[in-house]
Amino acid sequence: MKFQQLCVLGSTGSIGESTLDVVLRHPDTMAVYALSAYSRMEKLAEQALAVHAKVVVVPTEQARERFRRAWAGNGPGPEIRIGAQALVDTVLDSQVTTVMAAIVGAAGLPSALAAAQAGKRILLANKEALVAAGGLFMRTVRENGAELLPIDSEHNAIFQCMPQNARATIPTEPATGVRRLLLTGSGGPFRKTAIAQLADVTPDQACAHPNWSMGRKISVDSATMLNKGLEVIEAHWLFAMPVDRIQVVIHPQSMVHSMVEYEDGSILAQLGQPDMRTPIAYGLGFPERIDSGVGLLQLATLGRLDFEEPDFERFPCLRLSFDALKTGQAACVALNAANEIAVDCFLKQQIRYTEIAPVIESCLERITGCSDTNLDSLDDVLALDAHTRGIATELCLLKA
């Protein structure tokens, strides 16, 4: 395997931490060049020391001071760069071969896109980048010979179950012989909660995912199943699959990470523990298989695997996502931006859990005039993203 120098964007997050865990198991084939974080500078300093990072990227001067104070190593420590442009510049550094895009939200789009422009190997966890700018992102990957490995567990599973030749190129049409993609989702913590009680659930209840341990934003998205909606859009772009050939299936045990259905009736599935180190190790090692530190899946102990239809009344955000994908790219940008604001307000206890979907729906109605043809560049996407955030913030304030 060629030696890889990594830039881990969002290293202090759940995916970032799992990434460093896997990287440290393979000192002969990979090393960390750069790390980035938006908060938790003490954690970042600890990580930079453990992996001997050459560069860290932090958001502000104050964060740089906090990093300096937290630095416990001998010597001056890594070079500290500041701000969003520094994320892009660091991705472009010639030493970097591989970029783990694990910033949460559309904030991760510019740096992920830069990695595509520079033709790097991209391990893409940041699904919001594909939701907001799928067409632009995939085109940029293709035109610059970048390598794209999906890290989201469902898409990583689908990638693993795809025909071999489909893994070698960035698709422009569905892989030959594939009939449908079956995306599994656990249904989150409220799969069985009485619908009438959902108005009173707390952020901590929403973040208590039954199977996965993740950042708070994606945990709320998993509760509303907007996460699965974002993943439908993500799958559409990654695998060039029309929306009517992507099916969502509830699978409460989260052991089957997703499936590919073929024309002959075969369904190939990828199974494993719900531990993100498996897809991360797959991306890092590709095309080889490397140790991830994940233990065995004891099927006999597990006993059974269940599957159910998703309920759109319980999960209105899932319906809104399908509708947005059918409507077009502007709607997808707005869906994502409105959701980021609504989830943030819910986490701050400014709006109720059940107000997340109505905020998104109102934003989608308010931007119906925006045409997809004006979304060819990063600036266009970011402008609509900012515009929608403004509307969503106003709507949340009215409800607060």
Say how far apart CA 31 and CA 13 lie, in whole Å: 19
Candidates 4, 90, 126, 292; binder of ligand NAD (CB under 6 A) is 126
Helix (H/G/I), strand (E/B), else coil: 348: coil
Min. distance of Cβ 365 from ligand NAD in angstroms?
25
Q: Which does 102 bind (CB under 5 to 8 A by kind): ligand NAD, Mg ion, none?
A: ligand NAD
**How far, rounded to the nearest angstrom, does the alpha carbon of residue 309 sit from its chain's CA centroid?**
24
Question: Which segment (24-32, 47-55, 119-127, 324-332) binds ligand NAD by CB under 6 A?
Answer: 119-127
The residue of the chain with the least Cβ separation from ligand NAD equals: 13
**How far, rounded to the nearest angstrom, does the alpha carbon of residue 120 sit from its chain's CA centroid?**
18
Count of residues binding ligand NAD (CB under 6 A)?
25
> Does residue 12 touch ligand NAD according to CB under 6 A?
yes
Q: What is the DSSP string of 107-153?
A: GGHHHHHHHHHTT-EEEE--HHHHHHHHHHHHHHHHHTT-EEEE-SH
Min. distance of Cβ 340 from Mg ion in angstroms?
17
Say how far apart CA 119 and CA 133 lie, in whole Å: 17
Candidates 47, 128, 147, 184; binder of ligand NAD (CB under 6 A) is 128
Question: Which segment (13-21, 177-185, 320-328, 366-374) binds ligand NAD by CB under 6 A?
Answer: 13-21
Min. distance of Cβ 130 from ligand NAD in angstroms?
10
> Does residue 339 touch ligand NAD according to CB under 6 A?
no
* Between 122 and 370, CB nearer to ligand NAD: 122
Extract the tokens encoding 132: 């907001």
> Does residue 385 touch Mg ion according to CB under 5 A?
no
Say how far apart CA 131 and CA 235 lie, in whole Å: 10
Q: Which does 107 bind (CB under 5 to 8 A by kind): Mg ion, ligand NAD, none?
A: ligand NAD
* Between 4 and 219, CB nearer to ligand NAD: 219
Candidates 115, 148, 214, 325; binder of ligand NAD (CB under 6 A) is 214
* Between 14 and 292, CB nearer to ligand NAD: 14
Say how far apart CA 142 and CA 137 lie, in whole Å: 9
Candidates 66, 121, 127, 180; binder of ligand NAD (CB under 6 A) is 127
**How far, rounded to the nearest angstrom, does the alpha carbon of residue 210 sit from its chain's CA centroid?**
19
Extract the tokens encoding 209: 């995912």
Say how far apart CA 176 and CA 196 lie, in whole Å: 45
3-state secondary structure 157-194: HHHHHCCHHHHCCCCCCCCCCEEEEEEEECCCCCCCCC
**How far, rounded to the nearest angstrom, does the alpha carbon of residue 392 sit from its chain's CA centroid?**
21
383 neighbors 370 (Cβ within 8 angstroms): no
Extract the tokens encoding 75: 């010597």
Q: Which does 272 bind (CB under 5 to 8 A by kind): Mg ion, ligand NAD, none?
A: none
> Does residue 235 touch ligand NAD according to CB under 6 A?
no
Candidates 45, 104, 246, 260; binder of ligand NAD (CB under 6 A) is 104
Q: Which does 23 bind (CB under 5 to 8 A by kind): Mg ion, ligand NAD, none?
A: none
Min. distance of Cβ 196 from ligand NAD in angstroms?
29
Extended strands (E) in 221-358: 246-250, 256-262, 267-271
User: Which of 357, 322, 323 lies closest to 338 in space, CA to CA?
Assistant: 357
> Does residue 152 touch Mg ion according to CB under 5 A?
yes
Residues at the site binding ligand NAD, with contacts judged by CB under 6 A: 10-16, 37-39, 102-104, 107, 125-128, 152, 212, 214-215, 217-218, 276
Residues at the site binding Mg ion, with contacts judged by CB under 5 A: 152-154
